[in-house]
């Protein structure tokens, strides 16, 4: 169902792919948007138990797109260094594919929103933010069905040495 990586020598080991997802702060969510056009949006996320957690408003392009189609992709870039003199770059990234759902159980949604917030902010700030915004928030969980990590050729050459 999912394609294997064409440049398989650049594929990262599973453990490194997981590490990139766990340590990453920002990813780009890809959804099927209006009239079938792709819509991508950067967002903060939490990778927990093999799932990607994020939140959004109860209205808007992202909300409508995921309501219409639960199939999504998510990309995280952990290294991005341009090497101008070699006309290349050193990069490491992960692309994940899966299905997303809104968390309907309010206790679970609150717990996930709190966990996501604590990844980035102190507890008192998170609690204040939840108090002010939770009623207008949707917490989403993306169940990852397939993921691959990839590194640029510069990293692959370094590994071969």
Using CA atoms, how far apart are residues 31 and 65, in angstroms rounded to an integer? Answer: 6
For position 7, what pLDDT does the model report? 78
Please tell me the CATH code under which domain 8-151 is placed. 2.30.110.10
Q: What is the pLDDT of residue 6?
A: 83
Supply the mean pLDDT for the chain.
93
- What average pLDDT does this structure show over 24-35? 97
Q: How does DSSP assign the chain, residue by residue?
A: -PPPPSSGGGBPPHHHHHHHHHH--EEEEEEE-GGG-EEEEEEE-EEETTEEEEEEESSSHHHHHHHH--EEEEEEEEEEEEEGGGTEEEEEEEEEEEEEEE---HHHHHHHHHHHHHHHS-HHHHHHHHHHHGGGEEEEEEEEEEEEEEE-HHHHHHHH-
Residue given tokens 């766990």 in the structure block:
22
- Residue 25: CB atoms within 10 A of its CB come to 11
pLDDT at position 44: 98
In the predicted model, is pLDDT for residue 159 greater than 70?
A: no
Q: Is the pLDDT of residue 4 over 90?
A: no
Closest CA to 57 of 140, 157, 156, 152: 140
66 touches 37 (CB < 8 A): no
User: pLDDT digits over 96-122, tens only?
Assistant: 999 999 999 999 999 999 999 999 999
- What are the tens digits of pLDDT across the range 35-90? 999 999 999 999 999 999 999 999 999 999 999 999 999 999 998 989 899 888 88
Q: Note the pTM of the prediction, 2 decimals.
A: 0.91
């Amino acid at each position: 169902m999912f394609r294997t990586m064409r440049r398989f020598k650049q594929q990262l080991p599973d453990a490194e792919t997981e590490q990139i997802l766990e340590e990453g702060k920002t990813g780009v969510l890809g959804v099927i948007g209006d009239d079938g056009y792709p819509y991508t949006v950067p967002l903060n996320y939490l990778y927990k138990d093999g799932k990607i957690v994020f939140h959004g408003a109860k209205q808007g392009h992202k909300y409508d797109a995921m309501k219409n189609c639960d199939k999504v992709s998510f990309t995280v870039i952990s290294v991005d260094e341009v090497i101008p003199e070699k006309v290349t770059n050193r990069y490491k990234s992960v692309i994940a594919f899966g299905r997303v759902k809104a968390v309907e159980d309010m206790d679970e949604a609150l717990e996930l929103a709190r966990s996501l917030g604590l990844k980035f902010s102190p507890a008192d700030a998170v609690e204040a933010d939840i108090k002010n915004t939770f009623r207008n928030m949707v917490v989403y969980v993306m169940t990852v069905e397939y993921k691959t990590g990839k590194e640029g050729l510069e990293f692959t050459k370094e590994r071969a040495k």
